[in-house]
Homo-oligomer: A and B are copies of this chain.
């Protein structure tokens, strides 16, 4: 049973300063939530000290939105998990403009069934195992 869709987004070659800018990241989240018609329940924001990055988590009535930024690697990752069908957001365009990302990749995963049930074993960075049977 598919219970939701999760988008996993990697933004690389970003501007390090933008990845430390919590207000800008909050504003980016506000745009995602507004554009996709999502509803926030509560949020957690944490700026790591000094040159560190930012963690943002928002609980949605539709599931959750998360980001972690790594200024030292000029990288940010996002998760958007929605339990109802939503249109595609323009992650590439928006992250290139807001974070000055050089490259943006988006993976889309259906949740609730075995993730990657039919994945080939040569997959470089996703491994999936399933253990079935009644207990």
Instruction: List A residues at the B interface (Cβ < 8 Å).
Output: 1-4, 6, 8, 10, 12-13, 41-44, 46, 55, 57, 59, 63-64, 66, 68, 70, 73, 75, 77, 79, 81, 83, 92, 96, 100-120, 122-135
Say which residue of B57, B59, B112 sits within 8 Å of A12 (CB atoms): B112
Structural contact, B46 and A111, CB atoms closer than 8 A? no
In the bound complex, how far is the Cα of B107 from the Cα of A128, in angstroms?
A: 4
Structural contact, A125 and B117, CB atoms closer than 8 A? yes
Tallying the copies of this chain within the complex gives 2
Q: List 20 A-B contacts (CB under 8 A).
A: A1-B73, A3-B77, A8-B115, A12-B112, A41-B46, A42-B46, A55-B64, A66-B66, A105-B114, A105-B115, A106-B130, A107-B115, A108-B127, A109-B126, A113-B125, A115-B126, A117-B125, A118-B122, A118-B125, A119-B123
